[in-house]
Every structure is written in structure tokens, then in C-alpha cells.
Amino acid sequence: MRVQGLWFIFFFWVTEGGDSFLRRNDGIRTRRGLTVNKKKHPDPVQEYELLLQVAYRDSKEKRELRNVLDLLKPPSLWLHGPMKIIRAKATTYCSNQNGFLRCACEDGYSWFPPPCLDPHKCYLHKAGSLQSCDCHLSNFTQSVNFCERTKVWGTFKINERFTKDLLNSSSAVYSKYTTGIEIQLKETYKRIEGFESVRVTQFRDGSITVGYEVVGSSSTSELLSAIEQVAEKAKEGLQTLFPLEDDSFRVFREVQCNSIVFGFGFKNDEYTLPCSSGYTGNITAKCQPSGWQVVRETCVLAQLEELKKNFSVIASNATEAAVSSVVRNLSVIIQQNPSATAGNLGSVVSILGNVSSLSLASHFRVSNSTMEDVISIADHILNSTSVTNWTVLLQEENHVSSQLLKTLENISVLVPPAALPLNFSREFINWKGIPVSESQRKTGYSYQTDMFPPNTSIPIRGRVLIGSDQFQGSLPETIISMASLTLGNILPITKIGNAQVNGPVISTVIQNYSLNDVVLSFSKIESNMRQPHCVFWDFSHLQWNDAGCHLVNETPEMVTCQCTHLTSFSMLMSPFVPPAVIPVVKWITFLGLGISIGSLMLCLIIEALFWKEVKKNQTSHTRHICMVNIDLCLLIADVWFIVATTVDTTVNPSGVCIAAVFLTYFFYLSLFFWMLMLGILLAYRIILVFHHVTMTLMMAVGFCLGYGCPLIISVITIVVTQSRNGYKKKGTCWLNWSDGSKPLLPLAVPALTIVAVNLVVVLLVLTKLWRPAVGERLSQDHKATIVRMGKSLLILTPLLGLTWGFGIGIMVDSQSLAWHVIFALLNAFQGFFILCFGILLDRKLRHLLFNKLSPLSCLKQPSKQNSSELFAIPKSVSPLQHKGIYAFSHTGESSNDIRLTQFLSTEQTTKSRKKFSGAS
């Protein structure tokens, strides 16, 4: 088996070297290539480490590689001056096992935070004391972290004033402190077995908090214990150099974060450093589980700052030549200094924005060369490797990516028709401009581009088609189109569901010209994503919007959209919902709702016809009141649901849609609370058989619970979320789920809670039915009991809303077609199930209904079980054939309605006899 991937680390002593911002920034994320330690020595010597990956096949080759390393000479690098290798060490070995890269540490080395080669794409596997790092080869592209010698960390405080020079590794103050501390600690620790080195890693504000790192070849526990034993000696030595604060000397065996740039830290620590030489501003990192993460960064190249100031000076009396010169200088600066820091990105967008505004206001034209410079600048800042820095920038200025897109469009329309056609194709942006001629009246307009995502050879295509019928009136001067893949990653995340941009962003600009039919085609970047939304970038609201755009066709590779206007377009797709679900579920939903609405109207008619008969006793009366309200709420909710789905959000005013959403929300919520009331009533009748509550009190509780609670929840939800335009889902008439407020939660949480409560009630009913009644033999055939339980389950499941519990399956596994179909079938047809099992299985209602419809006595056969009485006693059982004291209570019009309770006290016996004699 071929074993792949050893990482060897070389250390060089060189006479020259610097600490530029680029290397500092790279050190946050990666240790590949050549990285610079912050360590500064008294003489002009700088230490570098070079990471080298070498493959071997067996242990023999591994030994030979070690021998070769000892004979290596320094390579010819960009470093100037004499160099030598002081040592080489193998730290990490890896093997390819069935598509997994499994890496472990050599003897004497360990994983330190952040663990694994890449904490975002790999995971640490622990088997006893052994630790290995497993990575999917398909996801893993480059090594980031490696095994290292045993480390422990320490801190102490110097009671002196902190100065910013301590953050600059090139300053004399920094050198003075680090040299003195390292010499003193090395003198103390050199007698510790396994000790190798100690270095100062950081200075923090708050007096002067010093952080240092000790490296050794012994185990962590042994090294930590030895350092703690000589702690007093170390403090005494340091106090000869600096005034230490009492009890500030501490050592740690583990830290959450550790890097060359930011040193070590613990969870949620924040550390701010000044930018490197040549830059203004600061960079702030926060310690998170994956290591130090940059959260704020304002590092701007000094040359960019100077150019920005110069432009503000010439703005009052600028000329076209002066503006072109600014753009040229900006392009040169970026080419000479390719570091795309967040601060640089913001400054470049700001300068281009100022150029655009000034040119539009002064009616300047843009030459071919200036436009080419603009596209080159845009290509640089839209480099896919800059997305991380864009993310940092957008946390502080969430509109800056939208400003870039608008600026590029504004500058593009300033190119005169005489300078066109032009076509600039770059790696991250494509730009094309044409002059409009009479040929457009016959052929229309077509723009197509092919772009390649990083590390792929498959092109992502985008196409714009404008028919010749759109150019029959007066013609525009120019048509400009451009496309970029990176823009989709940096424009603010959509509010339409869980979707994300899954194709190129294509912008087509025709100045002072309106169209009503544009066809766009997009290749899918991720082919496994579903549910495409055709959208345009809405500059006024800084978000994606689908107004005026609709989906025409979708294939496994392409999506075709049609829009009624021009601007910047793309498509949003969801990684969750499978496409096969949508037409199936839609068909089931509308069929089921139609049948349910008819069934519920029939239920209410039957209840109205026989209301006098069903309210003769309190139990039946309260149950049917609950059922009528359940039917009514479900009927109204279903009707408004259909209304909401048919509302055209692009034509109708938003008030109609919001009203439909609110009423659907309120009546579905009322449905659940009335189902809860029915469950409570059933549990009350089972547990408290002889307890009596007045009809007035019971109905007051029922209507407060059934309509009062839903009204309060609904009103609070719309008041809180509508003020931020987060009540309804964008583009549809239903509650939003994608925003932070998530107004769908106040429906989902009560609904699932009520389903859980009613499930407990059903289990209680089934338990009562399963236990043998008093007087029955334990060994009797359970067939009749099982039949009763089955009928009860059929009756209670739709009435108590248990079918809505299948919504949990959709939440857990939204890709499954089965869950979506089951949920739609059971709940769209809920009204039909209520008619069948809640009305037609009710013996009394069926008896009255058949009496009304037919004089034939053969249709009057009573059922063995009534939905209004789930606990009937079989006629064959004689309650007096066993010893004990019994009582009967008459609750209906037949012997099937007699409830039986056994009493065990003398006092209860007397009461039961009286009740029995009265009932007879």
C-alpha cells in the first residue's frame, strides 16, 4: 500500500527578512509555504520555517528520507544573504485509506489547537491515547496545521505602562523585552529534562501581559509539572529585570487558539494588532473553536490612502484626463501590491464609487483604456481567494458589494458608442459592450459567457436573450453586459428561504430604455441544489427580489428565467427540497383541500340538523361544541390557504397577501387549540369520572383557549415581524422562516406541543381500553378489545390532530419524498377523515341520519361502539357476578352507555347504592 504525505519542517538562519502584512495575514489561515516567525534576535538574523511534503512507500524509504534531510543544503529562495539549515524534523505522517487521508503524529509530537490539518474539513479521531486526523480527499486541498513538539504556555504581568511599540516586532522596545525575558526563562528551564526552547509569543494591554511558549520533547504532563516546580525561580529571575505583579505568573497545558501572528488565547478572547509596515489601521481576531478568526480588519495600503486624498483634492475642478489618471494609478498600485485585505477592498470600492459619481455628474466619457483598467481592478478584487476578506468587510459595511456592482454599471454606460464594441474577458469577470444598430430590429440581442469556478474545468455558462420585438421603437445607444461568479458570493445572503446563489450574476444595462421581455439562462454551479428562484438585485432594498421574474424551465444542468425588466440577474436555489416533491405534493394538497372543504361543510350541516338531540347531556354537548369549532376553524383555514396560494404577489397589493397569511395563520392556530380543548375534555372524563364542572365554566375555558390564545399569538407575531418586513415569505403568501424573527415558529411550536399533549391523551384512552374491565376474566379473548382500540384510534387521530406530528419527519429529513407525501395526504384530507370517523362512526348521529334519510328499519342497526362513548361495557358482562362493591352511572340512552366504577370504601358504597337505585 502506498503511504502518502510526510511533512518536514526546516529552520533557516538568514541575515535579511521582513514581516510584511501579506505574510502576517497568511499566518492566520495557513502555514503552507514560507512563513515568518515574529521572533526577533539581537543580531540581524531571522528564523523561517519551510514546510515540505514528501511521499514514501514503506518504512525503508522513510528512513532514507530522514538521512537525505540531514544532507540538504538551503534552497535558492527569494531571501538574500547567507543561509543555513539548523535542523530538520519529520512531524506528521499520513496514509490514504479508501478515499480518506488519515494523519497521525510522529513520536514526541502532538496535535495542538487548532487540531488536524484543516479544522474546517477534517476531524480528530480518538482511539484511546492515539489521535489521528481524518480528511476526505475530495474536500481536502492543502495542509494547514501539523503535529508539533509538546507545548505548554505561560503568562505573567509586568507592572509597567503598555506601549504600542510592544505590538511591533521590529521596534527596539519589543526586542528589549523579548530578549531579556527569553534569556532569563531559558536559563531557568534549561535544566528541565526534555526542554528545547522558549519564546515570547505576545504582549497584551493591561499593564504589560506577557505570553510565552515552552517547547519540549517530554510529555505535556511531565513538562508542565517541571515548569511549575521551578516557577518561583523563574519569577525571581524575571523580577531582576522587570517589576512583576503579584500572583500573575501562570502556566497552561491547553489553549483554545494558537498562531504565529496572534499568539495563544482562550474562548472568545479578542486581540487587536496594528497593521504591518506600509499599512494603516488595525486587525482584530477572536478565538473561536476553529482557531483565531479575523472579525474586524481596516488595513489599508498607505498608497491607496494617499490616492484617495489626492482624488478629493482634484474633485472640485477635475477633468476627464485627471479621472482617467486616477483609475490608471489605482490599477498600478493594485498590480504592485496584490494583497486584497478587507481594508483595501473597501478603499478600492470607495475610490471607484467616487470616480463613478464625479463622471456622471460632470458628464465625462470613459475611454477604452480606462474601462479596461476598471475591469482589471474589478477582476483583482473579485478574486475568489478574496471572499473571506469580503466577508470580514461586509460585517462592518453590508452595502459595499452592492455599491461595487452599481459602480461598475454606472461606469460602463459612460463608454461612448464610438468606442464600442469592446470585450474584456478576465478570470473573475467578463465585460462586453456593443453599439446598437438597425440589426437589432431583426436579430435582437444575445450575450453569452463561459466562466470557470476554482479547481474545475467545467464552464459555468450564462446567457441573455432579448427578442427583436423589443427593439421596434426608438433604439438605445449601447448595450452593456457583464458577468461574475464571485459577485454571487459577496452580495448579501438572500432572504428567500434557505436559498443561495447557484449561478453567475449577469448584469445587462441599456440606459434610458425599457423592455418587457428578457430571457436568461444560467448553468448550475451545484447541480444537486433544487427549487430555483429567478431573481434580480434590488439596489433600493439591498437584497434579491423576484418581482417581475419567473421560472421558465429547469434541467439537471440549466435554469431558464424570464423577466420583464433589466438589471443584475441570477438564480437562487435551495439545497433542501427535492424537485420531485413539488408537483406531487401540490396535486395532493389541492385535491385534499377540495375534498376536505366539502366534507367539513357536510359535517356542519349534520351537526346543525341534529343539534337538539346531541346536546341532551353535558358530555355529548361539550364534545360536539368542540367538534363544531374544529370543523369551522379547519374549513375557514383551508379556504384562506387556497386564497393565499392563488394571490399573485407581483400584481396584487401586499395588504391582500398579508391579510390572507394572517387569517390562515389565526384559524390554523385556533384549530390546534380547539383540538387541545377536546383532548383535555376527554382526559377529564376518563380521570375524573364523578367530578362535575358547570357547563358555563367549561365553555368559557373552551372559547378563551380556542380563540383567545390564538388571537394573542397571531397579533403579537404580526406586530413584531411586519414592522421589519419579515412577516411573510418573500414572493409567496405564507409565513417567513428565513429571517431572524422566524414568524413561523409561533405556529409550529404550539402545534407540535398540542400534538404531543393529545398523543398522551390517546395513549391514556388506549391503556384504559386494554385493561380488562371489572368482572371480565383476565384470560378472555382480546379480539374485541383490539377492535375497540382500533376504532378509537381512527376516531381520535383526526379529531386530536395527531397527523400533524408527521411534520417532524419533514423537518428532520426534508429530502425524503415519502415524508412530504404522507404529511400532505394525512393533513390535506383531515376534513374528510373527520366526516368519516368523527361523524359517520358516531352511532347516535348515524342512527339519526339514517332515520332522516330512510324509513327502512334495516338501516337502523346500532353499532357496537360509539365515537361519543369510547368506554362502553359489553352487554354480556354481569357486574354482579364477582365479589366487591359496585356503582353504575347512566350516561346515555342505552345500556351500552353505562359506566362502571368499583368502590373500595364503605362511604363510597352507600353513595353508589343510592346512585344505582336512582339510575334504575
pLDDT number for residue 41: 38
Q: Which three cell numbers stand for residue 128?
A: 484511546
In sequence order, what are the residues at sequence separation of 6 or more whose Cβ sits closer than 8 angstroms to the Cβ of residue 394? 400, 401, 490, 492
Integer CA distances (angstroms), 250 to 154, 212, 213, 227, 264, in order: 5, 10, 12, 10, 14
CA 50, CA 88: separation in Å to the nearest integer? Answer: 10
pLDDT tens, residue by residue, 427-446: 999 999 999 999 999 999 99
For residue 743, the number of C-alpha atoms closer than 13 Å in the C-beta half-sphere is 27
623: three-class secondary structure by DSSP: helix
pLDDT number for residue 726: 66
CA 163, CA 173: separation in Å to the nearest integer? Answer: 9
Q: Are 157 and 246 in contact (CB under 8 A)?
A: no
Q: Are 198 and 215 in contact (CB under 8 A)?
A: yes
pLDDT number for residue 800: 79
CA 823, CA 737: separation in Å to the nearest integer? Answer: 19
Share of the chain above pLDDT 70, in %: 73
pLDDT number for residue 9: 35
In sequence order, what are the residues at sequence separation of 6 or more whose Cβ sits closer than 8 angstroms to the Cβ of residue 699? 622, 625
CA 333, CA 429: separation in Å to the nearest integer? Answer: 20
pLDDT number for residue 569: 74
Residue ranges of the chain with per-residue pLDDT less than 50: 1-45, 77-79, 650-652, 739, 774, 776-780, 856-920
**pTM of the complete model:** 0.58
b/e code 700-718 from CB counts within 10 Å (16+ = b): eebeebbbebbeebbeebb
CA 886, CA 879: separation in Å to the nearest integer? Answer: 8
CA 204, CA 799: separation in Å to the nearest integer? Answer: 66
Q: Which three cell numbers stand for residue 38?
A: 515574529
Q: Which three cell numbers stand for residue 751?
A: 402545534
CA 71, CA 61: separation in Å to the nearest integer? Answer: 16
pLDDT tens, residue by residue, 668-686: 899 889 888 888 888 877 7
Helix axes 783-799, 654-687, angle to 10 degrees: 150
142: three-class secondary structure by DSSP: coil
Question: Hey, how many other C-beta atoms are within 10 angstroms of the C-beta on 304?
Answer: 24
What is the bridge-based pairing of β-strands 208-216 and 148-158?
Answer: antiparallel
Integer CA distances (angstroms), 211 to 28, 154, 179, 521, in order: 18, 6, 14, 56
**Nearest by Cα to 595 from 635, 646, 645:** 635
Owner of C-alpha cell 381500553: 769
CA 224, CA 730: separation in Å to the nearest integer? Answer: 58
What is the end-to-end Cα distance of the chain in Å, rounded? 91
Single-letter amino acid code for the residue at 739:
D
| Secondary structure string (H, E, C) spanning 173-204 | HHHHHHHHHHHHHHHHHCCCCCEEEEEEEEEE
pLDDT number for residue 354: 94
CA 107, CA 218: separation in Å to the nearest integer? Answer: 10
Q: Are 149 and 112 in contact (CB under 8 A)?
A: no
